[in-house]
């Protein structure tokens, strides 16, 4: 089974790594990494491949930056050609970035003219099967580009691998057939467990002359927080005040750095000796900073989940989250620029939530995906119709 694993941007790399390693052990699977090139800086991409033990991508689309339409269009055009040339059986897209929706849209419009046919859920498909890993998440905020990507990808993909029950509910509410929805759990936890020893052996905080449990970690890069100059200025003012209570390590995403520079806010932040502004940090060293911090302030998706799993207090600077389970079962709290400082003080005074265990957030998600795919194994290629061994069963 020729399987394309699509990755594009920083949060994708830790989602494909456990699956790549699990598939590589199987004789029936030929996993091939396709990098769309959406993130191209060394410290946004290559450093993650090294940490996660991934080989260099087999196929690189070199799409780069652009407006949403440009980036999506470039990936679609490049990937359509790759599908036609290589004829994958299965395409796995992850998360919610522009490349996720672009590769899905390119794949579902292909028609394999000779040979390849699959039977899935009673339907004959003459194109690659598309599976979405981390399906069903919804913030219900269509101003977020990622929400659009999630909705479109889920409505088109054939197999929807979900991380949590709220995701299953969202998909069912949108009228998606139950047999397309398979709960497999949270793949990010697999990466974390896979690299736990390496993460724990680092002392990344010493780069900033800090000790464990004496600092907070900050990541802010959502367009809604960093694209408007007034909002970004308010973010900087809030962080400056909070840094008087606790030192902050804030690895700066390229989008954020570009805007801080453009709006003349970077030099003031840089002068603050309790606010550290490194470039983006590799996975193991970044997670080491998170493992050892007092609390996290973020607008990222994945970090809300990692902090819940680790029991570390997390403040999410957003009006909503597509990961509500981190609030109902985890350590996550939504906050605004108005109440951020007060919430940090509360957390520093010990008022924070204790996490509950979430089903299938256990480091075995890649294994469940492989087992699911084993149920789908195709008949030999020389048969006129390739069919899966047994129909998919909804969980």
Q: Of the listed pieces 7-15, 157-165, 317-325, 329-337, which binds ligand UD1 according to CB under 6 A?
A: 7-15
Q: How many other C-beta atoms are found inside a 10 Å radius of the C-beta of residue 375?
A: 12
Identity of the residue, 97 or 232, whose beta carbon is nearer to ligand UD1 in the bound complex: 97
Which tokens hold the place of 42? 């060394």
Question: Which of 4, 5, 10, 235 touches ligand UD1 (CB under 6 A)?
Answer: 10
Question: Which of 4, 5, 6, 11 touches ligand UD1 (CB under 6 A)?
Answer: 11
Question: Which of 116, 180, 221, 285 touches ligand UD1 (CB under 6 A)?
Answer: 221
Site string for ligand UD1, 139-178 (x = CB under 6 A): ------xx--------------------------------
Distance between CA atoms of 114 and 126, rounded to whole angstroms? 9
Q: Of the listed pieces 6-14, 25-33, 83-91, 379-387, which binds ligand UD1 according to CB under 6 A?
A: 6-14
Q: Which of 221, 253, 329, 352 is catalytic?
A: 221
| Alpha carbon separation from 185 to 302, 305, 331 (Å, rounded) | 14, 12, 18
- How many binding residues for ligand UD1 (CB under 6 A)? 19
Q: If 0-12 CB within 10 Å is exposed, 13-18 middle and 19+ buried, where does residue 388 land?
A: middle
List the interface residues with ligand UD1, window 14-73 (CB under 6 A): 38-41, 44, 65
Distance between CA atoms of 16 and 5, rounded to whole angstroms? 7
Identity of the residue, 10 or 285, whose beta carbon is nearer to ligand UD1 in the bound complex: 10
Distance between CA atoms of 218 and 40, rounded to whole angstroms? 22
300: nearest Cα among 215, 363, 218: 218
Contact residues for 275 (Cβ-Cβ < 8 A; gap 6+): 239, 240, 243, 247, 248, 250, 269
Bridge partners (DSSP) listed for residue 34: 6, 59
CB of 230 to ligand UD1, least distance (A): 19
CB of 170 to ligand UD1, least distance (A): 18
CB of 205 to ligand UD1, least distance (A): 22
Site string for ligand UD1, 307-326 (x = CB under 6 A): --------------------
CB of 307 to ligand UD1, least distance (A): 16
CB of 40 to ligand UD1, least distance (A): 5
CB of 326 to ligand UD1, least distance (A): 15
CB of 68 to ligand UD1, least distance (A): 6
Decide: 7 and 35 in contact? Cβ < 8 Å. yes
Residue 136's SS3 state is coil
Decide: 375 and 90 in contact? Cβ < 8 Å. no
Identity of the residue, 254 or 278, whose beta carbon is nearer to ligand UD1 in the bound complex: 254
Residues found in the chain: 395
Residue 3's SS3 state is strand
Site string for ligand UD1, 74-113 (x = CB under 6 A): ----------------------xxx---------------
Q: What beta strand segments (E) does 110-202 contain?
A: 118-120, 123-125, 129-133, 159-162, 181-183
The reply to whether 225 sits near ligand UD1 by the rule CB under 6 A is no
CB of 174 to ligand UD1, least distance (A): 20
Identity of the residue, 300 or 365, whose beta carbon is nearer to ligand UD1 in the bound complex: 300
Site string for ligand UD1, 242-261 (x = CB under 6 A): -----------xxx--x---
Q: Is 132 a catalytic residue?
A: no
Burial profile 52-91: b = 16 or more Cβ within 10 angstroms, e = fewer: bebeebebebebeeeeeeebbebbbebbbebbeeeebbbb
Residues known to be catalytic: 221
Which residues in this chain contact ligand UD1 in the complex, by CB under 6 A?
Answer: 9-11, 38-41, 44, 65, 96-98, 145-146, 221, 253-255, 258
């Amino acid at each position: 089974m020729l399987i394309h694993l699509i990755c594009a941007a920083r949060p994708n790399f830790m989602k494909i790594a456990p699956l790549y390693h699990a598939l590589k052990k199987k004789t029936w699977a030929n996993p091939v990494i396709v990098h769309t090139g959406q993130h191209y800086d060394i410290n946004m991409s290559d450093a993650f491949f090294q940490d996660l033990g991934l080989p260099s991508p087999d196929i690189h689309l070199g799409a780069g930056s652009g407006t949403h339409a440009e980036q999506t269009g470039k990936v679609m055009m490049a990937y359509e050609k790759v599908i036609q040339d290589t004829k994958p059986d299965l395409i796995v897209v992850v998360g919610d970035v522009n490349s996720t929706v672009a590769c899905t849209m390119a794949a579902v419009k292909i028609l394999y003219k000779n040979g390849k046919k699959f039977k899935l859920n009673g339907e004959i498909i003459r194109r690659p099967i598309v599976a979405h890993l981390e399906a069903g998440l919804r913030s219900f905020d269509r101003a977020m580009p990622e929400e659009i990507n999630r909705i479109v990808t889920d409505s088109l993909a054939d197999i929807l691998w979900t991380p949590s029950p709220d995701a299953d509910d969202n998909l069912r509410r949108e009228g998606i057939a139950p047999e397309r929805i398979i709960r497999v759990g949270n793949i990010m936890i697999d990466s974390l467990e896979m690299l736990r020893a390496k993460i724990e052996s680092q002392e990344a905080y010493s780069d900033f002359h800090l000790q464990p449990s004496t600092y907070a970690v900050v990541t802010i890069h959502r367009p809604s927080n960093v694209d408007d100059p007034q909002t970004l200025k308010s973010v900087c003012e809030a962080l400056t005040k909070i840094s008087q209570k606790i030192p902050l390590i804030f690895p700066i995403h390229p989008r954020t750095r570009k805007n801080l520079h453009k709006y003349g806010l970077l030099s003031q932040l840089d002068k603050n000796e309790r606010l550290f502004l490194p470039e983006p940090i590799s996975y193991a060293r970044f997670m080491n900073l998170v493992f050892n911090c007092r609390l996290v302030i973020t607008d990222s998706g994945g970090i809300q989940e990692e902090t819940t799993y680790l029991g570390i207090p997390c403040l999410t600077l957003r009006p909503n989250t597509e990961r509500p389970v981190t609030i109902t079962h985890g350590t996550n709290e939504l906050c605004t620029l108005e109440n951020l400082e007060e919430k940090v003080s509360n957390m520093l005074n010990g008022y924070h939530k204790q996490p509950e265990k979430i089903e299938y957030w256990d480091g075995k998600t890649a294994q469940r995906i492989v087992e699911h795919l084993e149920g789908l194994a195709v008949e030999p290629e020389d048969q006129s119709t390739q069919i899966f061994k047994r129909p998919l069963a909804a969980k």
